[in-house]
């Protein structure tokens, strides 16, 4: 089984959900207003979305913005901590990788490529 | 006080310590700017549900909600308080040697890691740091697998957005924090297979039962722990001492966890391994104070058995003029102690009378909190033999995937035995998290392997960063914008009248 959201009907907090939808690498993922991007991804059944240097899968580890394991690209903004960023309806999330096979060579002016530094 | 011009206190961090500090500084007549990276005050301890959840009963997830809620409303609605949510302090600029006063704050306001954040500077009369701590997790084979979470992550997701990390969860590590995390998971509908406290009953009992009168003074805290313990009993969750998770296994994610019995020094008892199916594992071995900003401000640290913390005097002053510290960065003692420290710090920083009877009571309460912190450290130490569960291929630095064998090689190579050379050779601590997670572990392992304390900065090293939080080049290039004297404020949402 995977992470999931407590169903609103059985939630002791008596919350009232307003749905939102984001896309992850083009695929839709449904969440509710107020969730972090990490929360939306987890509750949508994705336990991992980033790849480390070896290609190993990563998702949420610290959940409070310390470990940087959960980095994603949001609407063309790179290196956003998914656990810290509130999801907005329509956000386009692109997953990131530090896997060397996917790392493009540095650009001509010596700045790093578009993959993570 | 005869001063007519109110002092301006910048409080960084709006958890229990920072909020109490803001409250006390306002009470002393000061003007307060309260800064937090989150959208709402509360910190990790009082992590609130998002406003958008429109929750009728937020109090059901929070210990001590009503007192927190009253304080939050009082502080945020105070005419002399400017509340800056979603604001990070990315640098502190120290004054020139001949100048007095606290450092200048460099702020970024806007959604986390967003490209469009605005830059501001702030020059307060006093800087009060209450930035808190995060879980310290020791490495073990498989800890980098998806499905392994820090205990803090599991709690933040359950309390802060009603997401449970799994259905069959093991909670392991050391310290009283294991209990609220397990209770939060149970409340949200997870099954918790077991709560594993690594320290044996003898160590835990020695810490908790010595000088029981100190516990009475922390009645709030022990009562809170009793509530969590009863939740475990109700759900028949076993709480085992002297046992911990030494490996997480699975194909691309956690599928099972291996636990083992530990001796008091945390060496593994051979043959005691036990494998349990799990879809999530929550781990914490204690807390690391967030020392980047205190170090950027130049604050002296004190070294304790539980690691380095910001050194403060009886009035919560640090070694730097007009810089105060409160809460977990001065010692891990829980919310009641953090509140007392925050109140002392806020009152003094705000220009309040140091001899006022109220502040004397607060100092007493703070001292009881510190005694409680020492007790916690004694009851839940990290056993010296923990590296025994590491294997050559165990990842130590999560960002760079540096394994234990590489660290051993670098530490034992006489040419590269300096920690800085070893760091460059292994890349441990050089990844996106900038050693926030592995720093204390790498420093400890390096010292043990090479017998060489790291460049005279054995423990503080990992926290020294010229830029305390990531900033984008575009934001750095933009000139700072004036900060409104009173930032636009939305009134706190009304509490349900039920």
Using one digit for the tens of pLDDT, what is the confidence trace for B12-27? 999 999 999 999 999 9
Residue of B nearest to A40 (CA): B163
pLDDT at B430: 86
How far, rounded to the nearest angstrom, does the alpha carbon of residue B205 sit from its chain's CA centroid?
Answer: 25
Residue of A nearest to B437 (CA): A67
H or E segment to which residue B8 belongs: strand B8-12
**Of the candidates A49, A19, A42, the residue with the CA atom closest to the CA atom of residue A31:** A19
The predicted-structure confidence for B66-83, as pLDDT tens digits, reads as follows 999 999 999 999 999 999
Q: Report how far residue A117's alpha carbon sits from residue A103's, in angstroms, rounded to the nearest whole number.
A: 9
Spatial contact of B12 and B131, defined as CB atoms under 8 Å apart: yes
Helices B439-450 and B404-412: angle between axes, nearest 10 degrees: 50
Check whether B478 has a pLDDT greater than 70. yes
Query: Which 8-state DSSP code applies to residue B362?
Result: H
Average pLDDT over residues B469-496: 63
Query: Which residues 22-81 in chain A show a CB within 8 A of chain B?
Result: 32-36, 38-39, 42-43, 47-48, 52-54, 56-69, 71, 77, 79-81
pLDDT at A103: 47
Average pLDDT over residues B392-414: 91
B139 vs B412, residue with greater confidence? B139
Number of residues in chain B:
498
Contacts of B244 (CB under 8 A, 6+ apart): B172, B173, B174, B196, B198, B259, B260, B262, B266
- Compute φ and ψ for B303, nearest 5 degrees: -100, 130
**Of the candidates A19, A61, A81, A21, the residue with the CA atom closest to the CA atom of residue B157:** A61
| Cα atoms found within 13 Å of the Cα of residue B36, Cβ hemisphere only | 25
Q: Which of A51, A54, A69 would you mutate first to test chain B, the one with the most B CBs within 10 A?
A: A69
| Cα atoms found within 13 Å of the Cα of residue B9, Cβ hemisphere only | 37
Quickly tell me which residue has 């630095």 as its tokens. B397
Tokens, residue B467? 């830029």
For residue A107, the SS3 value is coil
Spatial contact of B225 and B179, defined as CB atoms under 8 Å apart: yes
A6 with B150: Cβ contact below 8 A: no
Q: Is A13 on the interface with B (CB under 8 A)?
A: yes
**B4-8, B143-147, B324-328, B467-471 — which is least confidently predicted?**
B467-471
The predicted-structure confidence for B166-215, as pLDDT tens digits, reads as follows 999 999 999 989 999 999 999 999 999 999 999 998 888 877 766 555 55
The predicted-structure confidence for B137-148, as pLDDT tens digits, reads as follows 999 999 999 999
Residue of A nearest to B166 (CA): A3
The model's pTM is 0.90
How far, rounded to the nearest angstrom, does the alpha carbon of residue B54 sit from its chain's CA centroid?
Answer: 28
What DSSP line would sit under A23-76, residue for residue?
Answer: EETTEEEEEETT-BHHHHHHHTT-SEEEE-TTS-EEE-SSSSSSS-TTEEEETT
Torsion from C-alpha of B197, A38, B165, B253, nearest 10 degrees: -90
- Compute φ and ψ for B10, nearest 5 degrees: -95, 120
pLDDT at B374: 82
Compute the C-alpha angle B343/B332/B318, nearest 5°.
55
With cut-offs at 50, 70 and 90, classify the pLDDT of residue B448: confident
pLDDT at B351: 97
Q: Report how far residue B20's alpha carbon sits from residue B292's, in angstroms, rounded to the nearest whole number.
A: 22
B217 vs B182, residue with greater confidence? B182
Check whether B364 has a pLDDT greater than 80. yes
Q: Is A1 on the interface with B (CB under 8 A)?
A: yes
Check whether B44 has a pLDDT greater than 70. yes
Residue of A nearest to B58 (CA): A13
**Of the candidates B380, B142, B376, the residue with the CA atom closest to the CA atom of residue B245:** B142
Please, what's the b/e burial string for B324-341 (b: 16 or more CB within 10 A of its CB; e: otherwise)? bbbbbbbbbbbbbbbbbb
First to last CA, chain B: 43
- Computed on alpha carbons and rounded to an integer, the radius of gyration of chain B in Å comes to 23
Torsion from C-alpha of A77, A79, A82, A85, nearest 10 degrees: -50
Q: Is A112 on the interface with B (CB under 8 A)?
A: no
Q: Which of A19, A47, A49 would you mutate first to test chain B, the one with the most B CBs within 10 A?
A: A47
- Most confident among B186-200, B445-459, B475-489 (mean pLDDT): B186-200
Per DSSP bridges, beta strands A48-51 and B31-35 are unpaired
Please, what's the b/e burial string for B138-160 (b: 16 or more CB within 10 A of its CB; e: otherwise)? bbbbbbbbbbbbbbbbbbbbbbb
To the nearest whole number, what is the mean pLDDT of chain A?
87
To the nearest whole number, what is the mean pLDDT of chain B?
88
**Of the candidates B34, B130, B129, B43, the residue with the CA atom closest to the CA atom of residue B74:** B34
B146 with A48: Cβ contact below 8 A: yes
Spatial contact of B172 and B283, defined as CB atoms under 8 Å apart: yes
Count the neighbouring beta carbons within 10 Å of the beta carbon of residue B420: 11
What is the SS3 assignment for B116-164?
A: CCEEEEECCCEEEECCCEEECCCCCCCCCCCCEEEHHHHHHHHHHHCEE
**A43-47, A72-76, B423-427 — which is least confidently predicted?**
B423-427
ipTM, two decimals, is 0.89
**Of the candidates B289, B75, B61, B257, the residue with the CA atom closest to the CA atom of residue B173:** B257
Number of residues in chain A:
117
């Amino acid at each position: 089984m995977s992470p999931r959201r407590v169903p609103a009907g059985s939630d002791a907090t008596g919350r009232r959900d307003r749905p939102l939808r984001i896309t992850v690498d083009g695929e839709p993922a449904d969440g509710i207003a107020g969730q972090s991007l990490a929360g939306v991804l987890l509750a949508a059944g994705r336990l991992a979305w980033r790849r480390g240097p070896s290609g190993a899968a990563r998702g949420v580890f610290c959940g409070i913005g310390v470990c940087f394991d959960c980095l994603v690209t949001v609407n063309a903004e790179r290196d956003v901590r998914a656990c810290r960023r509130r999801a907005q309806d329509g956000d386009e999330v692109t997953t990131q990788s530090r896997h060397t096979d996917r790392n493009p060579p540095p650009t001509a002016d010596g700045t790093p490529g578009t993959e993570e530094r | 006080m005869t001063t007519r011009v109110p002092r301006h206190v910048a409080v960084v961090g709006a958890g229990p310590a920072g909020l109490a500090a803001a409250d006390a500084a306002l009470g002393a007549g000061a003007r307060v700017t309260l800064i937090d990276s989150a959208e709402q005050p509360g910190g990790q301890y009082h992590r609130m549900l998002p406003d958008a959840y429109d929750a009728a009963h937020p109090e059901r997830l929070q210990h001590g909600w009503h007192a927190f809620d009253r304080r939050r409303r009082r502080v945020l609605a105070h005419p002399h308080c400017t509340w800056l949510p979603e604001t990070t302090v990315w640098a502190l600029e120290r004054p020139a040697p001949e100048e007095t006063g606290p450092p200048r704050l460099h702020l970024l306001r806007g959604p986390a890691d967003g490209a469009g954040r605005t830059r501001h500077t702030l020059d307060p009369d006093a800087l009060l740091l209450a930035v808190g701590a995060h879980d310290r997790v020791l490495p073990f084979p498989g800890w980098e697998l998806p499905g392994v979470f820090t205990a803090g992550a599991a709690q933040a997701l359950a309390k802060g957005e009603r997401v449970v990390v799994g259905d069959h969860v093991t909670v392991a590590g050391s310290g009283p924090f294991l209990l609220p995390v397990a209770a939060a998971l149970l409340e949200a509908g997870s099954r918790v297979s077991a709560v594993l406290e690594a320290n044996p009953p003898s160590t835990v009992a020695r810490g908790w039962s010595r000088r029981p009168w100190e516990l009475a003074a922390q009645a709030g805290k022990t009562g809170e722990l009793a509530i969590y313990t009863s939740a475990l009993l109700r759900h028949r969750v076993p709480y085992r001492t002297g046992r911990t998770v030494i490996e997480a296994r699975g194909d691309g994610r956690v599928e099972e966890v291996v636990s083992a019995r530990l001796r008091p020094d945390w060496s593994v008892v051979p043959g005691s391994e036990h494998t349990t199916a799990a879809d999530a594992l929550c781990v914490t071995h204690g807390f690391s104070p967030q020392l980047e900003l205190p170090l950027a401000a130049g604050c002296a640290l004190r070294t304790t058995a539980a690691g380095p913390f910001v050194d403060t005097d009886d009035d919560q002053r640090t070694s730097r003029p007009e810089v105060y510290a409160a809460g977990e960065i001065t010692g891990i003692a829980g919310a009641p102690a953090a509140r007392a420290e925050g109140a002392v710090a806020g009152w003094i920083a705000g220009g309040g009378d140091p001899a006022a009877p109220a502040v004397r009571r607060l100092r007493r309460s703070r001292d009881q909190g510190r005694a409680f912190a020492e007790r916690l450290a004694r009851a839940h130490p990290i056993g010296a033999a923990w590296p025994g569960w590491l294997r050559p291929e165990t990842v130590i630095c999560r960002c760079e995937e540096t394994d234990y064998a590489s660290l051993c090689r670098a530490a034992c190579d006489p040419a590269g035995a300096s920690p800085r050379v070893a760091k460059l050779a292994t890349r441990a601590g050089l990844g996106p998290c900038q050693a926030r997670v592995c720093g204390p572990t790498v420093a400890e392992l390096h010292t043990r392997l090479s017998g060489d304390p790291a460049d005279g900065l054995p423990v503080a090293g990992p926290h020294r960063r010229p830029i305390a939080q990531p900033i984008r080049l575009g934001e750095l290039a933009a000139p700072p914008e004036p900060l409104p004297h009173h930032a636009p404020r939305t009134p706190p949402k009304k509490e349900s009248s039920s």
